[in-house]
Chain A
Amino acid sequence: MAQSIAGTNLASNWHSPVAEPVVRVYADWDLDGDYSDADEDISGYVLRVSIAHRLLDAVYGLPVMGGGRVSTASLTLLNPAHRFTPENANGLAGTYASIAQRKAYRVPVKIEMGYRDAVNGAEVLTQFVGQVENADPNERAGQRMLVYTCKGLDGFIERHRIYSTVREDQRVDQLIAHYLTAAGLTAQQLDKAVTTLPFAWANGEPLLDLLRAFAAADGGWLYWDKAGVARYERATHWLESADSLTPQATLTGAVATQQRNEALYRNVFSSVRASYTPMAHGPLRVVYTNDDVVEVPPAASTTITCEFTQPCSTVRTPVVQTDYSPASPAGSDMASHCSLTMTATATRAELTVTNSHASIPLYLYRLRIRGYIIAVGDAQEVRAETALTLIDGQRDHEVSNPWLVRPEQAAFVARRMLTLLERPREIVTWTGRLCPWLELGDLVTVQNSAQGLDTPAYVVGLHPSYAGGALRMDAELLPQANVFPGGDYFTLGASKYQTPSDRVYF
Chain B
Amino acid sequence: MTTKLYRVGQSAVTVRDPDGLQTARELVGRRERSLTGDMLSDVVASKLRWTVTWQHLSSAEWSTLKAEVARTVPMTWQPPDEGGATYTVTVAEWQTERTEFGVTCSAVLEQS
Which A residues have a C-beta under 8 Å from some C-beta of B? 17-21, 252-259, 432-433, 448, 450, 468-471
Q: What are 29 contact pairs spanning A and B, CB under 8 A? A: A17-B39, A17-B41, A18-B41, A18-B42, A18-B43, A19-B40, A20-B43, A20-B44, A21-B29, A21-B42, A21-B44, A252-B36, A253-B35, A254-B34, A254-B35, A255-B34, A256-B35, A257-B33, A257-B40, A432-B35, A432-B40, A433-B40, A433-B42, A448-B35, A469-B28, A469-B29, A469-B43, A469-B44, A470-B32
B32 partner, pick from A19, A21, A257, beta carbons under 8 A: A257
In the bound complex, CA of A134 to CA of B42 (Å): 30
A450 cross-chain contacts in B, Cβ below 8 A: 35
Residue of A nearest to B35 (CB): A253
Q: In the bound complex, do residue A468 and residue B29 qualify as a contact, i.e. CB atoms below 8 Å apart?
A: yes
Q: Select one of B28, B35, B41, B43 contacting A257, CB under 8 A.
A: B35
Chain B interface residue count, Cβ-Cβ cutoff 8 angstroms: 15
B25 at the interface (CB under 8 A from A): no
Closest to A433 in B: B40
Q: Does B38 sit at the interface, judged by CB under 8 A?
A: yes
From residue B55, how far is it (CB to closest CB) to chain A in Å? 31
Known: A468-B30, A469-B29. A19 touches B42 (CB 8 A): yes
Among residues of A, the one whose C-beta sits closest to the C-beta of B31 is: A470
- Whether B40 pairs with A255 at a CB distance below 8 angstroms is yes
B25: min CB distance to chain A, Å? 14
Q: 9 closest Cβ contacts across the A-B interface? A: A469-B29, A253-B35, A470-B42, A470-B30, A469-B44, A18-B41, A253-B36, A256-B35, A468-B30
Enumerate chain B interface residues (CB-CB to A < 8 A): 28-30, 32-36, 38-44
Cβ-defined contact, B38 with A470, below 8 A? no
* Closest CB in chain A relative to B36 CB, distance in Å: 4
**Smallest beta-carbon distance B93→chain A, Å:** 14
List the A side residues contacting B40 at CB < 8 Å: 17, 19, 255, 257, 432-433, 470
Contacts of A20 in B (CB 8 A): 42-44
Residues from chain A with Cβ under 8 Å of B39 in the complex: 17
Nearest chain B CB to A390 CB, angstrom units: 30
> Are the C-beta atoms of B42 and A253 separated by less than 8 Å?
no
With CB as the reference atom, state the residue of chain B lying closest to A471. Answer: B42
Point out the residues of chain B lying under 8 angstroms from A468, CB to CB: 29-30
Contacts of A255 in B (CB 8 A): 34, 38, 40
Whether the pair A432, B44 counts as a contact (CB closer than 8 A) is: no
Q: List, in ascending order, chain B residues with CB within 8 A of A253's CB.
A: 34-36
- Select from chain B the residue with minimum beta-carbon distance to A431: B35
Contacts of A448 in B (CB 8 A): 35
Cβ-defined contact, B35 with A17, below 8 A = no
| A19 nearest CB neighbor, chain B only | B42
| CB atoms of A19 and B41 under 8 A apart | yes
Find chain B residues with CB under 8 A from A256 CB.
34-35
Q: Are A469 and B30 also in contact (CB < 8 A) when A19-B43, A20-B43, A20-B44 are?
A: yes
A17 and B38 contacting across the interface, CB-CB below 8 Å: yes
Question: With A and B bound together, what is the CA distance between A252 and B44 in angstroms?
Answer: 23
Q: Which residue of A lies closest to B29 (CB)?
A: A469
Residues of A within 8 A of B41 (CB): 17-19
Distance between Cα atoms of A257 and B44 in the complex (Å): 19
In the complex, A254 Cα to B41 Cα: how many Å? 12
